[in-house]
Amino acid sequence: MMKIAVVGTGYVGLVSGACFAEMGLDITCVDVDRKKIDALNNGLIPIYEPGLEELVKRNVEEGRLHFTTELTDCLDKVEVVFSAVGTPPDEDGSADLKYVLEVARAFGRNIKKYTVLVTKSTVPVGTAQKVKAVIREEIDKRGCKIPFDVASNPEFLKEGAAIKDFMSPDRVVVGIESERARKLMTRLYRPFLINNFRVLFMDIPSAEMTKYAANAMLATRISFMNEIANLCDLVGANVEMVRKGIGSDARIGSKFLYPGCGYGGSCFPKDVKALARTAQEHGYTMQVIEAVERVNEGQKSILFGKLQRALGDLHGKTIAIWGLAFKPETDDMREAPALVVIDLLRKAGGPGAGRGPPAIIFTSSPRFGSTTPWRWRKPAAGSATKGCITQVRCTKLQRAPMPSHSSRSGNSSGCPTGRNCSRSCATTSWSTAATSSTRKRCSTPGCATTASENNTLTAHNDTIPGASASGIVLVACTACYTYPAMRLAPRKPDAA
């Protein structure tokens, strides 16, 4: 059984370690955080990822997954060490490599036989050479001549689908600089080769650049589509129809063409900044990449602007926020658009804008009360939506709201979200309670979905002239309109 170590039990390290163990390897996960390691040894998972808790528990019980605070506990036994520590952004936007280099120093001080140190963290081009120099320095201090190799194996995991991405990857990118390292990494990834998954071997700088280029491309598509959605709002076009029209082109494809509140999380914001900074360090300006970041930062405040224009003065009003995490199926709030909306609401005097009373927050984030979507947490006593004049969606919808999210009269309330809306939607009053039994059809033209198929109908709305609107809502469904509109239908406060 091949033995490897994974340094860092954050999102990348823990998922990678658990998945490698599931493939039949003997894995030791290392972290300097004693509390985290103690928790993992007691079956407590520090992050939320669908299926991860069960995966860790199974492989611990079967003796393939171990946790320790000391790399030296396993270094003599392993053939490969993965470095999966954090690379937080520095003040100038560049990636902070201190943790990566700390792992390299510990590796150099303690190896006694040929071992490969593989960087799995997202790092700028040229990091491998810095890692190699640090290891060589530490070995020279010991007066030894121990062979080693460095490699790059960037991760391409989506939060919320990380286990699937790891076990059934689009591709595995491996940067190496020796045939010996290539043979070892080929043996490590043999199960993927057997299953015809693509393992792409290349030089290390190309592997390091591939990760940044991939994230920058996806971020560019998001910002591009947000710009198109904003223009659609102004000219009266339906961005959903536009998205389908351009996504049907095989040269473009449909993925990452959904407009919204802007991207967030631990990867895109940090990596876009770091890529732009790397270019600046080499005397080059990446104008497209820098524009992508500017558009994204501006997009996060557009939702608040629409809310303010519709309701006017927000002082003293209570607003429910649906979805705090930057995307569904995760509790990760790093760079989440919801944080910008909350901050702007606080400054505008709206109390329903965070964790302090009388805030009311709907969330699909497990960090705020549940690991199941559409559970809610509220600091104040009373009905979950009592007193709310509107609800703001800041995270992609995975399913329709539960009936408890409706007003007491049963009428669904529209709410602003990160989407431009079809102006052709039919105006209607919708009873959420009736959707499970009434075969009512989605009102979006061309969509054949009915309410009883999966109860996917969800309320959104088109233009509302002002805050005194009478709670008109429009109806569309998640089949034809996965993300609802960035339009507003102010709802009437529930009766006392």
Active-site positions read 267
Q: How many CA atoms lie less than 13 Å away from 216 in the CB half-sphere? A: 23
How many residues in total does the chain contain?
A: 496
Distance CA 332, CA 208 (A): 24
Distance CA 481, CA 259 (A): 11
Distance CA 242, CA 449 (A): 20
| 3-class secondary structure per residue, the chain | CCEEEEECCCHHHHHHHHHHHHCCCEEEEECCCHHHHHHHHCCCCCCCCCCHHHHHHHHHHCCCEEEECCHHHCCCCCCEEEECCCCCECCCCCECCHHHHHHHHHHHHHCCCCEEEEECCCCCCCHHHHHHHHHHHHHHHCCCCCCEEEEECCCCCCCCCHHHHHHCCCCEEEECCCHHHHHHHHHHCHHHHHCCCCEEEECHHHHHHHHHHHHHHHHHHHHHHHHHHHHHHHHCCCHHHHHHHHHCCCCCCCCCCCCCCCCCCCCHHHHHHHHHHHHHHCCCCCHHHHHHHHHHHHHHHHHHHHHHHHHCCCCCCEEEEECCCCCCCCCCCCCCHHHHHHHHHHHHCCCCCCCCCCCEEECCCHHHCCCCCCCEECCCCCCCCCCEEEEEECCCCCCCCCHHHCCCCCECCCCCCCCCCCCCCCEECCEHHHCCCCCCECCCCCCCCEHHHHCCEEEECCCCCCCCCCCCEEEEECCCCCCCCCCCCCCCCCCC
Q: Residue 164: what are its φ and ψ, rounded to 5°?
A: -60, -45
One-letter amino acid of 379: P
Distance CA 481, CA 478 (A): 5
